[in-house]
Structure 1
């Protein structure tokens, strides 16, 4: 808040609500999310699911609230007197004006270091490829002997043995005893794994223990155990803690089971289930054999029906040949009759269509005579017309006119004179006679 805002607040009269709201805003802006350590005191869990408690040390305490949407993910129950670390937001409860912490998450003191070590080891081993899927070994479908690496006093061992006894009573089990908790447990677990590998008497190994806190399960987060699992040549399945518990051993193992009982269910099939499957397969085989026999019997009956004595077979073929002969004879007769009637029909049509030669010759002579007459008449008509045209030509021939004493006058440019207006006095004209021509000069003309 700047100086001008401070002066404005000093001059103004604030209500209690405004004061608390301003104080809440100042606290939340001034303090980011931070970790606070202390001892839990006077914790109360209400039916709403919210937790209210105080966090204190030797000299002070602060009220805390952890709402249901935050605490539902916690896998342990805080109690009075526990030393914890909370990640919280510094705020103010406006209604009462109480200074408090709104807790986002909570962890027991020391677990932060364990979680950090867990994440660092997991990252380093992951980079080395110890968690890669391609290095995982498949579990045998029907192991001949199973090895269990755990503490003989562990309740998980009893659960695993009970499950194996129920699922496959005849399956041999070898127990490799080792401490699974406490100082030096990790080295002992690694030694037990190496011992199982060196003896090579089992087809699959189960590494298991019951649930517990992160400290209880920490031996399975040690690098020496992870290296031993990675170097194990026998398929190994881990069943450590509860389903929500994860350890480094779970990541390195060939298969992770949610619980020790789940691990025992992974490694061997259920004998009752196998018996049920065997019965089902036996029933299927019986049905298949019965159906196959029935099919073969039906085929045999069909072949027996088709099997005929050779003499009967010959008689049947002779009868068939007789039927074919009769059909051939009938077909030949019908074909011959059809062709006979067709020939008769064609003969009648030829008879009806044959020409009368004498009549045609007579008709030809008649037509020849008519043609000659028509040709002669046509020639006569043409001659008569030609003579008439010739007479007209003679009558209209200018030379004939000239023979009668007439002449034709032409102008100097050769035009025939038909009018006196075509020439003038002194013009020279050409006069054509029946025989020859002459030039004349015009000395006089009249209209």
Structure 2
């Protein structure tokens, strides 16, 4: 029985199999070492080796990853790298693909940072209800920083540009190095005890986590919390956060931003003042115009004594004419009523009835006869005609 021919791999296939095996066998992990042979390619990728006393390994950190770092590694730096194992197939080189890079020991610093932050937060040092407002228009500003720091120059130039009249008191202190935290806290306590400023800025420029670590010390946080005036923390760059930022009443992204928080823009205030002045002038002019218009109206209504007499005389003539008209109308109405009553009296007058041919009959006792039932034969009656009386005797009675 013939043996089957062995599979013969190409170099490409071999390297691909080796790469797949390595990548499956080594998940994402951390490795520490010293940087050597660092090269920054025009493409933005970084190529270097990580070494220790016994070995070294090639590494690559692509631009999409190294662009997130806020520091620049240098030859000889001790670092900790989060990496994946791979094989560069074209040359068969074993290498690490670096996902994240930090200075050696930062893991311990981060742990200490989070531990102290949790402790102080549990004590209430970061409670938002305890934060004090920054005065809108402070007269005197205090600054705790190094007198040689670029941050101080940035703050002073910003204050001069925005509000030159502000007084500034500097409480000098080292901001980096061994023992600096104690001196920073002492400077804050000095400013608090003197109480000669309206607001205090604690600041320094950017740097690595180790450079800013003095502002992560508990003694500095407690000094800020116990300060008698509002405190603004302006430490590092916008992406840097320190324990001092949480303890302060307000955090500013940069020292320059802290200076802007305590100083109103003089030009903006002047422009606002000019705008308010124009609005006030317009309002006053409008009010004056309204008052003048009202005065003109009252002037037109105001009459001289002779005009008032003439006006009253004209009114009196009108009232006299109206009174005469009213009296005439009333007299006419009463005259018509009298005529109506007279006509009614004429119609109701018995004499007028007799003139139309009617006769009134009276009994012997003078009572008016209204029915033949009251007459008796032989009785005398009197007849009243329009022009006299007739005495007669009843001869016959014919009831109907």
Alpha-carbon separation, structure 2, partners of 1:331 and 1:105: 116
Gaps of 5+ in 1: 1-9, 333-447
In structure 1, the residue matched to 2:51 is 56
In structure 1, the residue matched to 2:261 is 266
In the TM superposition, 1:27-426 aligns within 5 A as: 27-309=22-304, 310-315=308-313, 317-318=315-316
| Greater C-alpha Rg | 1
Q: Which secondary structure does the structure 2 equivalent of 1:90 belong to? A: strand
Alpha-carbon separation, structure 2, partners of 1:193 and 1:226: 10
Q: Which secondary structure does the structure 2 equivalent of 1:245 belong to? A: coil
Q: Judge which range, 120-129 or 311-320, deviates more.
A: 311-320
Structure 2 contact 195–228 (Cα < 8 Å) conserved = no
State the Cα RMSD in Å: 2.8
Alpha-carbon separation, structure 2, partners of 1:331 and 1:86: 121
Which of structure 1's runs of 4+ aligned residues deviate more than 4 A? 318-332
Q: Judge which range, 107-116 or 122-131, deviates more.
A: 122-131
Higher helix content, 1 or 2: 1
Structure 2 contact 12–89 (Cα < 8 Å) conserved = yes
Q: Could you state the TM-score of these two structures normalised by the residue count of structure 2?
A: 0.74
Alpha-carbon separation, structure 2, partners of 1:304 and 1:14: 117
Alpha-carbon separation, structure 1, partners of 2:23 and 2:313: 116
Gaps of 5+ in 2: 331-400
User: Structure 1 residues 14 and 322 mapped into 2: Cα distance closer, same or farther (>3 Å)?
Assistant: farther
The Cα of 1:72 is off from its aligned counterpart by 0.8
The Cα of 1:85 is off from its aligned counterpart by 1.2
Q: Which secondary structure does the structure 2 equivalent of 1:142 belong to? A: coil
Alpha-carbon separation, structure 1, partners of 2:55 and 2:165: 65
User: Structure 1 residues 103 and 295 mapped into 2: Cα distance closer, same or farther (>3 Å)?
Assistant: same
User: Structure 1 residues 320 and 146 mapped into 2: Cα distance closer, same or farther (>3 Å)?
Assistant: farther
User: Structure 1 residues 304 and 230 mapped into 2: Cα distance closer, same or farther (>3 Å)?
Assistant: same
**Whose RCO is larger (CA < 8 A, sep 6+)?**
2
Structure 2 contact 135–198 (Cα < 8 Å) conserved = yes
Alpha-carbon separation, structure 1, partners of 2:329 and 2:36: 122
The Cα of 1:125 is off from its aligned counterpart by 2.3
User: Structure 1 residues 49 and 326 mapped into 2: Cα distance closer, same or farther (>3 Å)?
Assistant: farther
The Cα of 1:120 is off from its aligned counterpart by 2.1
The Cα of 1:312 is off from its aligned counterpart by 4.6
State the aligned residue count.
326
Deviations 1:392-443 (A, max 9, x none): xxxxxxxxxxxxxxxxxxxxxxxxxxxxxxxxxxxxxxxxxxxxxxxxxxxx
Q: Which secondary structure does the structure 2 equivalent of 1:41 belong to? A: strand
Structure 2 contact 193–228 (Cα < 8 Å) conserved = no
Q: Judge which range, 127-136 or 243-252, deviates more.
A: 127-136
Alpha-carbon separation, structure 1, partners of 2:264 and 2:121: 32
The Cα of 1:325 is off from its aligned counterpart by 7.7
